[in-house]
Amino acid sequence: MKIVFFGTSEFAVPILKAIKEKTDWEIGLVVSESAKPAGRSNKITDSPVASAAKDLGIDIYTPVSISGKKAFDTLSNIGSNLHSQTLEYGSGDFPDVFIVAAYGQLIPDSIYNLPKFKTINIHPSLLPKFRGPSPIQTALFEGLKETGVSLMLIDEKMDHGPVLSQEKVKIADEDNYRELENKLSDLGSKMLIRDLPRYINGDIKSVPQNESGATYTHLIKKEDGRADWNKPAQEIYNQWRAFSKWPGLFTFFKNRNGQSVRLKLIEISPHLGAKLPSGKDGSIMADDKKNLFVICGSGAINIKKLQPENSKIQTADEFLNGYGYVIGQKLS
């Protein structure tokens, strides 16, 4: 079987590696989003998938836009060995199927219809629930106990096409974004390797999604990580789990000059016990054992590690040694 793999984010990397290491499928090309500035230095950096493809010795194509004529011309004239031949669409050696995992752009019909067996997307939710760009974050943010992976055929609408197979996965109470992403990526790899040959052989038929059950996720923004201390502690903990990769959970306190300082909460847990320091919602408090808390709408958050703006990551004890004056302040 000959394939082209589309992917960009870390979710797609284990899937690409599994195809390379556990199957005899020929990966003619990896398509990924173009390199972008990353980190504090804004250094131009390859996507995780492009970096993995280089390590695996697979040819890479990184168009700025997948919707233009140049991308179509490139993808309609590819083969299993780009170094030795250029194969035209419709020839016997053209890739059988395109595979997509967290690519990051909507692929036009002129491209997803190119292969004989069309284009399969590995989507980390139980479709039609959580269509769109942030299904993993949304499952955590909403405090769900399970989610899953859907293999689906791409059509003209976002995550709308018929489903080939689905499987569920449990979400542990302590799972954060990276942990759940790893679970779903591993599951997606296993499903693809098992079910793609069955689909090619005609043993699996696609099933249209139930539109009445469709829900949508949104593109995550930096402000999504700001804590609202009027909410219950469990909801704020779920917010931290969902956005632990980016943008993180953050709030603001006042320094000695009365200026607002951004405070990123690196490691937290919900404190749901009966005994809490007294204070209003958003008050930052400490007990006699130097445990650090923020009072919430109900319950409190126990802060274990945190990072003031322009400073290093600190334990609660280290923070109290340098910023003890914030105790009793109302965070915003």
Report pLDDT digits (tens) over 152-186. 999 999 999 999 999 999 999 999 999 999 999 99
Number of domains observed in the structure of the chain: 2
pLDDT the model gives residue 41: 77
Report whether pLDDT(82) > 50.
no
**Which of 6, 22, 8 lies closest to 194, judged by CA?**
22
Report whether pLDDT(211) > 60.
yes
Report whether pLDDT(196) > 80.
yes
Lowest mean pLDDT among 13-17, 67-71, 235-239: 67-71
If one counts every other C-beta atom within 10 angstroms of the C-beta of residue 44, the result is 10
Q: Are 180 and 163 in contact (CB under 8 A)?
A: no
| DSSP assignment string, 126-157 | -TTTTBSS-HHHHHHHTT-SEEEEEEEE--SS
Residue where a domain stops, chosen among 170, 185, 213: 213
pTM attached to this predicted model: 0.93
CA distances from 227 to 11, 231, 232 (A): 26, 9, 11
* CATH code of 252's domain: 3.10.25.10
Segment 53-79 shows an average pLDDT of 91
Q: Determine the angle formed by the axes of helices 13-22 and 48-56, rounding to 10 degrees.
A: 20
CA distances from 126 to 53, 79, 152 (A): 28, 33, 11
Spatial separation of the C-alpha atoms in residues 104 and 111, rounded to whole Å: 15
* CATH code of 35's domain: 3.40.50.170
Q: Which alpha helices (DSSP H) does 104-251 contain, by range?
A: 109-112, 135-141, 177-200, 233-242
Q: Are 215 and 130 in contact (CB under 8 A)?
A: yes
Q: Are 293 and 277 in contact (CB under 8 A)?
A: yes
Q: What is the mean pLDDT of the chain?
A: 92
> Does residue 331 fall inside a structural domain?
no
pLDDT tens-digit profile of 270-295?
Answer: 986 667 766 778 999 988 778 899 99
pLDDT the model gives residue 92: 55
Report whether pLDDT(91) > 70.
no
pLDDT band for position 79 (cuts 50, 70, 90): low
pLDDT band for position 88 (cuts 50, 70, 90): very low
Are 138 and 243 in the same domain?
no
Residues 6+ positions from 52 with CB-CB distance below 8 Å: 13, 16, 17
Are 170 and 263 in the same domain?
no
pLDDT the model gives residue 77: 85
Are 76 and 180 in the same domain?
yes
**Which of 262, 318, 272 lies closest to 293, judged by CA?**
272
pLDDT tens-digit profile of 93-121?
Answer: 789 999 999 999 999 999 999 999 999 99
Report whether pLDDT(62) > 90.
yes
Report percent pLDDT > 70 for the chain: 93
